[in-house]
Every structure is written in C-alpha cells, then in structure tokens.
Amino acid sequence: TLTLKEIFGRSKKRIRVIDFWASWCAPCIDEITRAKSFKDRLSVENDVEWIYLSVDEDQQKWLKKSEELKTVLNVKNQYLVLRGTNSFLAKSLKVIGIPKYVIFNKQNQIVLENAPRPSDSLVFKKIIDAIE
C-alpha cells in the first residue's frame, strides 16, 4: 500500500495530474486513448507527470484492462486505489464520478480539484501554463 506522498516522492518535483479511472468506464478509456499525444506533449513541454489511479473494485479486471491499454497508459505510474471510491483518498479528493482529474503544482499542492478533461486541450493547456 502506497500513499500519495510516497507516489509523489518517486520522482522529482513536477506538475502532476491524477487521472481517476476504472476498467469499466468507457469515457475514462476514451480519454486515456484520445488524449495520449496531448499528454505526451505536456510531459515534455511542461514537465507534467500523469498518475493513473483506478477505482476498480476487481483487481483482475484492472490488471486486464491495464494490459490492454499498455500502449497508451503509463503502466509504471498507475495504481489501484484500495476500496475504490470509498477510500480515504477518493473521499478527500471528492471523487464522486469518473473520469476525474486533479492537478497538483510542483510543491504537491492542489491547483484544481476538478480539472477539465485533457481532451479539452486548449483549456487544459492554459491551466497547466498558469502553474508556476
């Protein structure tokens, strides 16, 4: 079991976007696949780290879908949230529905708790560009 602090501590200080998703969530999967090139660009241009947190209750379904999405999903930076949307983390970040995106600055402070979808690239990029 890892905490968000431990996950953030695995890499240098960066802007971070948490993407809450699940294997059964069609809009989540669509967003993961459609926004891949935009996310890659933000990773390079703005030093953005994407962290994928699945709220799946069935670990096997999460693993299977992760394997299917391995070409578009950063498998080294994704985790299963134990207890899903009932977890302390999900409740703290007000994860009521998915997909949900939370943006953190380089000091690991929440910048936007309910960020737009990355496929809304113009708005998303403006938010990222405004982060110091």
pLDDT at 132 over 90: no
In angstroms, rounded to a whole number, what is the distance separating the alpha carbons of residues 3 and 12?
A: 16
pLDDT at 53 over 90: yes
Contact 56, 62 (CB under 8 A): yes
In angstroms, rounded to a whole number, what is the distance separating the alpha carbons of residues 39 and 125?
A: 10
Angstrom CA distances, 128 to 25, 31, 78, stand at 25, 18, 21
CATH number of the domain bearing residue 91: 3.40.30.10
Beta-carbon count within 10 A of 126 CB: 10
User: Based on the structure, what is the number of domains in the chain?
Assistant: 1
Confidence of residue 1 (pLDDT cuts 50, 70, 90): low
Residue 56: half-sphere exposure toward Cβ, Cα within 13 Å: 22
Q: Name the percent of the chain lying above pLDDT 90.
A: 74
Q: Which domain holds residue 9?
A: 4-130
Q: Is 123 helix (H, G, I), strand (E, B) or coil?
A: helix
Confidence of residue 8 (pLDDT cuts 50, 70, 90): confident
Contact 24, 57 (CB under 8 A): no
Minimum mean pLDDT range among 8-12, 53-57, 106-110: 8-12
Q: Which is it for the CA torsion 103, 109, 111, 113, positive or negative? A: positive
Average pLDDT over residues 44-51: 93
Cis peptide before 99 (omega within 30 of 0): yes
